[in-house]
A = this chain, B = another copy of it.
Amino acid sequence: MSTQLADPALIAARLDRARAAMRDRGVEALLVSVGRDLPYLAGYEAMPLERVTMLVVLPDGEATLVVPALEAARVTEMPGAFTVVPWRETDDAIGVIAGLLGDRRTVAIGDQMWARFLVELLERMPDLRVLRAVDVVGDLRMVKDDAEIEALAAAGAAVDGIAAELQAGRIPLLGRTEAEVSADLSRRILEAGHERVNFAIVATGPNAASPHHHPGPRVIEQGDLVLCDFGGTMAGYCSDITRCVVVGEPDPEVVDAWAVLRAAQQAAVEAAVIGTPCEEVDRAARRVIAEAGYGDYFIHRTGHGIGMEEHEDPYMVEGNSRPLVAGHAFSVEPGIYVPGRWGMRLEDIVVATEQGPRRLNRADHALAVV
């Protein structure tokens, strides 16, 4: 966590906004564990392990961070924001959390909390009524403030540098396996200043027709289209970029399809103005691809929100009528996937601003030939 993004006054203000949202929605307690709601609300990231960490927020009272004693020293105290309650190795941590809930029963649960801890709470409180914390906190987290946008821009610039190396042919491809190139990208993500690699998809030739292909033993050959989709977390905020390169001479069909994809991505970015429903951003990309006859090959939504989490609200997908507001940050990443042959995707992170859509990735949009 960057300290700039987690000062006590900011954390206290976010908790107050969460409390107001809880009161509006009749939520009696908010439980947040692993996942990004916790750093957002407490400036602290829980270790995703079996020792429970839980922020308990009450609408009308204290916030309490229940944390394993041996991790308590990692927590930056936030006077006025929350109290830290450490539990020791043989303590009953779930009992401590149940005690803080008392007779409250309508409880909002962080999306990524391990189900284990909810199951253990339900065993003690079978009459718990649970709902998703995203209905309380999601609205708050979705709108990024200036410092958050600059953090996203810095992470974006870092992966832009890697994309440029890839496009310039300075990351070897021919004769290497997907897994080797993926490991190379992972190392570069760390070297570029990220504290964590979130993913480094390298999908080549026919493998690229699977949008979430797991990089494997396939060796890159002359003529392959190579899709690289990679990102990490830098100072608490995520990067995510996709670029494609061709090793050697590209197939004319691939060149034509890329022109369609690039136009589709451009149309979706241009559609991302304040007030536009998220689904319209999706439709803008889909329309261009469908008109070119590739509609059946664009098999996923156009984008996802991004922030402390690599995927978060708002999603650019049919059915999401939420209008864009200034500070929404999200990917715009249409793709075309022809089973058994090739796949391509082009992705930038975009922020909706009063001055129109702002791209946080600047790496070249051409299909690079290396």
On A, residues with C-beta under 8 Å from B are: 33, 47, 49-50, 68-71, 73-74, 88-90, 109-120, 122-123, 130-132, 134, 179, 183, 186-187, 190-191, 195, 197, 209-214, 299-301, 304, 310-312, 317-319
Contacts and interface: CB of A to CB of B under 8 A. Distances in A.
A202 B213 CA distance: 33
- Determine how many copies of this chain the complex contains: 2
A39 to B, nearest CB: 12
Contacts of A115: 33, 109-115, 117-118
A116 B112 contact: yes
B90 A317 contact: yes
B118 A213 contact: no
B299 A210 contact: no
Contact of A187 (B116, B179, B190, B210): B190
B130 A74 contact: no
A89 B187 contact: no
B118 A311 contact: no
B183 A190 contact: yes
A125 to B, nearest CB: 12
23 contacts: A33-B115, A49-B310, A50-B311, A70-B211, A70-B300, A73-B209, A89-B300, A89-B301, A89-B317, A89-B318, A109-B115, A109-B116, A114-B115, A115-B118, A116-B134, A118-B118, A119-B130, A123-B131, A183-B191, A183-B195, A187-B190, A187-B191, A197-B197
Contacts of A187: 187, 190-191
A279 to B, nearest CB: 10
Contacts of A299: 69-70, 88-89
Contacts of A112: 114-116
Nearest to A212: B71
Contact of A73 (B89, B210, B301, B304): B210
Nearest to A194: B183
A115 to B, nearest CB: 4
Contacts of A68: 212
A286 B117 CA distance: 29
Given A299-B69, A301-B89, A122 B111 contact: no
By Cβ-Cβ distance, the 7 closest A-B pairs, closest first, are A73-B210, A111-B116, A113-B115, A70-B211, A115-B118, A71-B212, A70-B300
Contacts of A191: 183, 187
A78 to B, nearest CB: 16
Given A49-B311, A114-B115, A187-B190, A319 B109 contact: no
Nearest to A74: B214
Contacts of A90: 317-319
A317 to B, nearest CB: 6
A71 B272 CA distance: 27
A122 B89 CA distance: 31
Contacts of A88: 299
A88 B300 CA distance: 8
A71 B203 CA distance: 13
A15 B308 CA distance: 37
B114 A131 contact: no
A5 to B, nearest CB: 15
Nearest to A88: B299
A31 to B, nearest CB: 9
A132 B114 contact: no
A179 B191 CA distance: 11
